């Protein structure tokens, strides 16, 4: 029961929605555009910090008397702009170079962002290594919550008014992102982007401005990552160390689990990632209670679930590179 609980709650949890958004962004980068982004956590950080700094430090509701809705929406826009500018700056030097340079620069830049926001010097703005409390960033969204307090949903999906509200926002954003990606990649624009993934010189020889397309893709995926970052912090607090390299790696796991160049793949992948992680964790937890694993502590047992994640990622990528839902014909990795 406990295990099922842990497994199924991932299907509605807003963390899954946040991961789904960021994974869709990563899918736009890699699955459709062929861009190797190993710093999606950096884009998430830009969104999350843009949102939080605007809400908690600039605080338009408090300082300028804005309506909470205006403040909340503008905070999201700030997060989007921050992620776009970040994408633009990263793309400028690297999109003309071979793909692995983008990989190195994105992974390095994401860490630069994390180190910078957690430095003590910036504590008044970013909250330093402690980040920001949930209370300080949730003011607006709590204010505009139309749901009266109480419990919503049923069985394992039950949650309080605030969590339900965040879930609604998160999954709505995921729905919008899915439609957006679907529309884009059936249009001529998407065709050019997919062409670039296959061979950018060929597309260049047909008179397309490859650099500009790659930049658009980088910004689009980055913005989705930024939204994912915002959604991730809303139910909890802003923690700088969440935006570290492992998060990017988990997003890759989620993306590949679902299938990189598919519309629903990243969403399903994100849900499955959390469901399996939580599920395995609780299975190990239960097994531990019944005395398996000799004298090891329960934390040690829990760490095994991440070992499982790593091994699963390796097995998946070798034996089923197109993901669970991908089309084997379309997605064998030849990038």
Hey, which residues between 315 and 334 contact other proteins (CB under 8 A)? Answer: 315, 317-318, 321, 329-334
Using CB under 8 A, pick the residue from 25, 33, 190, 235 that binds other proteins: 190
Say if CB 270 and CB 15 are below 8 A apart.
no
**Nearer of residues 69 and 315 to other proteins, judged by Cβ:** 315
HEC-encoded secondary structure of 122-168: HHHHHCHHHCECHHHHHHHHHHCCCCCCCEECCHHHCEEHHHHHHHH
Residues 51-110 that bind other proteins (CB under 8 A): 92-94, 97-98, 100-101, 103-105, 107-109
Calpha distance 219→193 (Å, rounded) = 13
Determine the longest span between alpha carbons in the chain, in angstroms.
66
Say if CB 238 and CB 127 are below 8 A apart.
yes
**Nearer of residues 109 and 137 to other proteins, judged by Cβ:** 109
And the tokens for 137?
Answer: 């960033």
Using CB under 8 A, pick the residue from 124, 154, 155, 201 that binds other proteins: 201
To other proteins, the closest distance from the beta carbon of 59 in angstroms equals 24
**Nearer of residues 206 and 287 to other proteins, judged by Cβ:** 206
Binding of other proteins by 177 (CB under 8 A): no
Binding of other proteins by 130 (CB under 8 A): yes
Residues 5-34 that bind other proteins (CB under 8 A): none
Say if CB 194 and CB 32 are below 8 A apart.
yes
- Which residues, other chains included, contact 195 with Cβ-Cβ below 8 Å and sequence gap of 6+? 202, 203, 206, 208
Say if CB 101 and CB 217 are below 8 A apart.
no
**Nearer of residues 11 and 115 to other proteins, judged by Cβ:** 115
To other proteins, the closest distance from the beta carbon of 320 in angstroms equals 11
To other proteins, the closest distance from the beta carbon of 7 in angstroms equals 20
To other proteins, the closest distance from the beta carbon of 9 in angstroms equals 23
To other proteins, the closest distance from the beta carbon of 135 in angstroms equals 18
| Closest by CA position to 166, among listed 225, 231, 77, 238 | 231
Using CB under 8 A, pick the residue from 11, 88, 115, 292 that binds other proteins: 115
Beta partners for residue 238, in sequence order: 132
Size of interface with other proteins, in residues (CB under 8 A): 81
Calpha distance 232→180 (Å, rounded) = 21
**Nearer of residues 8 and 101 to other proteins, judged by Cβ:** 101
Residues 215-274 that bind other proteins (CB under 8 A): 216, 245-246, 249, 252-253, 256, 261
Say if CB 197 and CB 33 are below 8 A apart.
yes
Lookup result for tokens 């061979």: 199
Say if CB 45 and CB 114 are below 8 A apart.
yes
**Nearer of residues 171 and 250 to other proteins, judged by Cβ:** 250
The CB density around residue 69, as the number of other CB atoms within 10 Å, is 13
**Nearer of residues 66 and 306 to other proteins, judged by Cβ:** 306
Q: Which stretch binds other proteins (CB under 8 A): 43-51, 112-120, 158-166, 269-277?
A: 112-120
To other proteins, the closest distance from the beta carbon of 315 in angstroms equals 8
Binding of other proteins by 298 (CB under 8 A): no
């Amino acid at each position: 029961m406990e295990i099922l609980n842990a497994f199924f709650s991932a299907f509605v949890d807003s963390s899954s929605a946040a991961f789904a958004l960021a994974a869709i962004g990563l899918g736009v980068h890699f699955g459709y555009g062929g861009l190797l982004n190993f710093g999606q956590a950096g884009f998430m950080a830009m969104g999350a910090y843009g949102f939080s700094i605007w809400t908690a430090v600039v605080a338009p509701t408090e300082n300028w008397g804005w309506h909470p809705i205006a403040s909340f929406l503008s905070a999201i826009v700030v997060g989007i702009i921050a992620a776009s500018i970040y994408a633009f700056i990263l793309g400028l030097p690297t999109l003309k170079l071979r793909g692995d340079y983008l990989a190195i620069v994105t992974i390095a830049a994401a860490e630069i962002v994390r180190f910078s926001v957690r430095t003590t010097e910036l504590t008044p703005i970013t909250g330093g290594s402690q980040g920001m409390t949930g209370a300080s960033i949730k003011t607006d969204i709590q204010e505009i919550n139309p749901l009266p307090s109480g419990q919503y949903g049923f069985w394992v999906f039950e949650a309080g008014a605030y969590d339900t509200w965040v879930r609604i926002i998160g999954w709505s954003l995921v729905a919008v992102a899915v439609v957006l990606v679907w529309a884009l990649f059936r249009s001529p624009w998407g065709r050019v982007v997919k062409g670039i993934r296959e061979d950018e010189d060929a597309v260049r020889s047909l008179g397309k401005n490859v650099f500009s397309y790659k930049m658009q893709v980088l910004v689009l995926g980055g913005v989705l990552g930024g939204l994912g970052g915002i959604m991730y912090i809303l139910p909890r607090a802003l923690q700088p160390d969440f935006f570290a390299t492992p998060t990017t790696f988990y997003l890759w796991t989620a993306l590949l689990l679902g299938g990189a160049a598919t519309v629903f793949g990243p969403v399903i992948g994100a849900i499955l990632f959390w469901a399996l992680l939580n599920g395995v964790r609780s299975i190990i937890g239960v097994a531990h209670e019944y005395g398996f694993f000799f004298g090891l502590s329960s934390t040690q047992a829990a760490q095994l679930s991440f070992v499982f994640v790593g091994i699963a990622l390796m097995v998946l990528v070798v034996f089923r590179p197109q993901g669970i839902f991908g089309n084997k014909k379309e997605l064998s990795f030849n990038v």
